[in-house]
Structure 1
Amino acid sequence: MCQHKPACPSAQATDREAATVVSAHPDQGWSLLCNGVVLFDDTGEILPDGKIVAPRRVTGVVACAAA
């Protein structure tokens, strides 16, 4: 699907989010990447084969020591 040189990461690659945005819809909270991945603002994804990747949310609280 990707015509870029060098080619963007495939939809199966671990760095798939690094692919070029071909259609951005920030008002709706999603973008289509050239590898066919739909990337949502909350970091969730839909892969071209229909597989859903859950959002990666930061959990827990980071404690800071008082100086």
Structure 2
Amino acid sequence: MRTLTPPATPSRQPRSLCTHKQPCPSAASPDQEAAVVIAAHPEQGWSLLCNGALLFDDTGVLADGRVIDPHRPFTATA
């Protein structure tokens, strides 16, 4: 009888991919957007920051399971 081994469990990425000497702000901090971009996809409208947050071109953010609405400055039209 042949014994089957279970498939390897997929590894999860750490919450922070930051390896900088001066660590970038965490995804939970208010200045999370100051983290370094590690993967940019402007054709799709998003970038992955080293703290694990996804930054969208409309200034929305997906970080630590939280959605942060776009926060572009309001510009008045004449």
Q: Which residue of 2 aligns with 1:52?
A: 67
Which structure 2 segments of 5+ residues have no match?
1-15
**TM-score, normalising length: structure 2:** 0.71
The range that moved more, 6-15 or 52-61, is 52-61
**How far is the alpha carbon of 1:62 from its aligned partner?**
6.9
Matched length: 62
**How far is the alpha carbon of 1:57 from its aligned partner?**
3.1
Q: Which residue of 2 aligns with 1:4?
A: 20
Which of 36, 52, 57 pairs up with 1:20?
36
Report sequence identity in percent.
56
Which of 44, 52, 59 pairs up with 1:43?
59
Flag as ranges the 4+ runs of structure 1 deviating above 4 A: none
Q: CA RMSD for the aligned pairs?
A: 1.6
Q: Distance in 2 between matches of 1:57 and 1:20?
A: 20
Paired AA for residue 61 in structure 1: A
Paired AA for residue 15 in structure 1: D
**How far is the alpha carbon of 1:58 from its aligned partner?**
3.1
